[in-house]
A and B are shown apart, each in its own frame.
Chain A
């Protein structure tokens, strides 16, 4: 029995049926080509041209080959920013994964009130990043900041310290905020993985007398290793792309002490309007991220195959 004919019956057979899936993906693909593919290609291309406000206005942008890259490598700030990026990424990834795993293990147990703790611990993830960064900047305030007051009361420091204004501490102070903000998401990913570990394995292991560290190392970690690796790559990508924390707390200063490649590219581009040189730095970051993304996809496929 057939219902009354519907306009969409043209997609049932023949050419209509063949076109149907293409028509459904078409709008999204067209927009994605326009707003992702085209900009990426043109961004990489402009790394090889002299693009400044002046050449942009005259419409005549000369091809300069590798000149932008050479100028970037010759800049002492670039060396500084590269080193800082390594420190920034390593500290963030290691701390977020370590703390995220610890939190996931804590929150994995079903004990009274666990819902309350789970919600509370997700707060940093939910608070808008700009709000979080500005709050931390206020907490670090050199004259009336609560961080200073607490550290003085705990006896860690003798007097208030300008954490964000000191070249020795600025990068690390921002890193603390970034770890605070990023850990709950890692915890979520690992908690989801922990909940998929069959109970029987954990019970068998604990009956065998495995406890504490041994259980963690020999039983739990091997079970969640793929999720753990995925969390590591995602944290890496999110940290490299974390602009707000550094920009809104220190703008990369003082004296480039908290400059990372992202903020350096941003300064080249939108403070000095040397867009060609900014594109050169961005292209280098892009290559690194593409490699990381490829690893991420391979890991996801490994997980689906499990």
Chain B
């Protein structure tokens, strides 16, 4: 109390005249704010712009020196080259298959587990969520080696099915943790009301709580989709043959030993990033509240 009143007094003393001079005028501050915003915006968006600009240039222009910021002419040739080959579609289908399988499995498993951890008291209901969070933090390089040995024993190296359990190790723990957070926010009273109306515990969960928690479930599902779609380390270690490659792996394969077709590579980058960007900007509100909040609040 006393300190705050002291600061207030000194502030009042100063505010008599000199404070007005010290403060920069509002319009200048606003201009500075916008200058900062534009600088940050350009820094963040430029590489993305450069990828798109490169993908739309003709081959001769890509390797012209000095490079020009704005393309002189626009061509879709790189996209045609990329999409006409069967390889690209194959990679896209592989990625799609993995993404859907991993998302469905992890959401189904984490919904019930997250709910039980949020609502029921049982042996381990306090420790298990923490264990789940630890699971997420394990360095992938430690898991790579045992996974490699296991997959080799099972004969699942170089197989998309073999990647599903590997991806679950990387997705499931955090999914459970996030789901628990969402269910903890659904008010108890709703469940109690459903139970009074004669629902069993399972029905109350399935018919009342699950629909209520839909935004959280969508956020978690999107989070899994994005991470599975983007995953590179495990895929590049366990997938050996070209036909089983996922999109990120296919892209990195376009880097040549001596020369690289950067136009086509950047076109591939645009096509790989497009679904993620669309999903993201479509669901931005859910995701930012869900995942950002989940990481902080738990």
Q: Which residues of A contact B (CB under 8 A)?
A: 1-3, 6, 8-9, 11-12, 17, 20-22, 24-25, 27-29, 31-32, 34-40, 42-44, 46, 51, 56, 102-103, 106-107, 109, 111, 114, 117, 119-124, 126-132, 134-139, 141, 143-146, 149, 152, 180, 184, 188-189, 192-193, 207-211, 227, 230, 234, 237, 240-241, 243-244, 247-248, 262, 265-266, 269-270, 275, 278-279, 281-283, 285-286, 289-290, 292-293, 296-297, 300, 303-304
Secondary structure type dominating chain B contacts:
helix
B256 at the interface (CB under 8 A from A): no
B79 shortest CB reach to chain A, Å = 15
List A contacts of B266 (CB < 8 A): 135, 138
For the complex, give the distance between the alpha carbons of A101 and B116 in Å.
Answer: 37
B211 at the interface (CB under 8 A from A): no
A117-B41, A136-B47 known; A209-B296 Cβ under 8 A = no
For the complex, give the distance between the alpha carbons of A187 and B272 in Å.
Answer: 25
Q: Is the CB of B122 within 8 A of A134?
A: no
List B contacts of A211 (CB < 8 A): 22-23
B135 at the interface (CB under 8 A from A): yes
User: Across the two chains, which residue of chain B brings its CB closest to A301?
Assistant: B298
Q: Is the CB of A1 within 8 A of B37?
A: no
List A contacts of B109 (CB < 8 A): 27-28, 31
B190 shortest CB reach to chain A, Å = 17
For the complex, give the distance between the alpha carbons of A45 and B148 in Å.
Answer: 15
B101 at the interface (CB under 8 A from A): no
Q: Is the CB of A25 within 8 A of B113?
A: yes
Q: Is the CB of A117 within 8 A of B166?
A: no
Q: Is the CB of A3 within 8 A of B135?
A: no
A29-B128, A36-B135, A119-B281 known; A43-B51 Cβ under 8 A = no
A121-B41, A144-B64 known; A241-B128 Cβ under 8 A = no
Q: Is the CB of A111 within 8 A of B233?
A: no
User: Across the two chains, which residue of chain A brings its CB closest to B171?
Assistant: A35
A211 shortest CB reach to chain B, Å = 7
Q: Is the CB of B43 within 8 A of A117?
A: no
List A contacts of B202 (CB < 8 A): 6, 8, 11
Q: Which residues of B contact A (CB under 8 A)?
A: 4, 7-8, 10-11, 14-15, 19, 22-23, 30, 33-34, 36-37, 40-41, 43-45, 47-48, 50-51, 54, 62-67, 69, 109-110, 112-113, 115-117, 120-122, 125, 128, 130-135, 137-150, 152, 165-166, 168-169, 172-173, 176, 197-203, 226, 229-230, 232-233, 237, 248, 251-252, 255, 262, 265-266, 269, 272-273, 276-277, 280-281, 284, 288, 292-293, 295-298
Q: Is the CB of A282 within 8 A of B132?
A: no
List B contacts of A282 (CB < 8 A): 139, 141-142, 144-145
Q: Is the CB of A130 within 8 A of B232?
A: yes
A5 shortest CB reach to chain B, Å = 9
A289-B137, A293-B133 known; A120-B296 Cβ under 8 A = no
List B contacts of A12 (CB < 8 A): 200-201
Q: Is the CB of A208 within 8 A of B8?
A: yes
For the complex, give the distance between the alpha carbons of A105 and B141 in Å.
Answer: 36
For the complex, give the distance between the alpha carbons of A193 and B293 in Å.
Answer: 9
Can you offer 21 A-B residue contacts whose CB atoms are under 8 A? A8-B201, A11-B201, A17-B201, A20-B116, A24-B112, A25-B116, A39-B142, A46-B149, A126-B273, A126-B277, A130-B230, A131-B248, A135-B48, A138-B54, A208-B4, A230-B295, A269-B144, A279-B145, A289-B139, A297-B133, A297-B134
B259 shortest CB reach to chain A, Å = 11
Contacting residue for B272 out of A131, A207, A265, A270, CB 8 A: A131
List B contacts of A247 (CB < 8 A): 233
Q: Is the CB of B142 within 8 A of A40?
A: yes
For the complex, give the distance between the alpha carbons of A283 and B138 in Å.
Answer: 10
A8 shortest CB reach to chain B, Å = 3
List A contacts of B293 (CB < 8 A): 192
For the complex, give the distance between the alpha carbons of A241 and B232 in Å.
Answer: 13
A103-B40, A131-B251 known; A25-B166 Cβ under 8 A = no
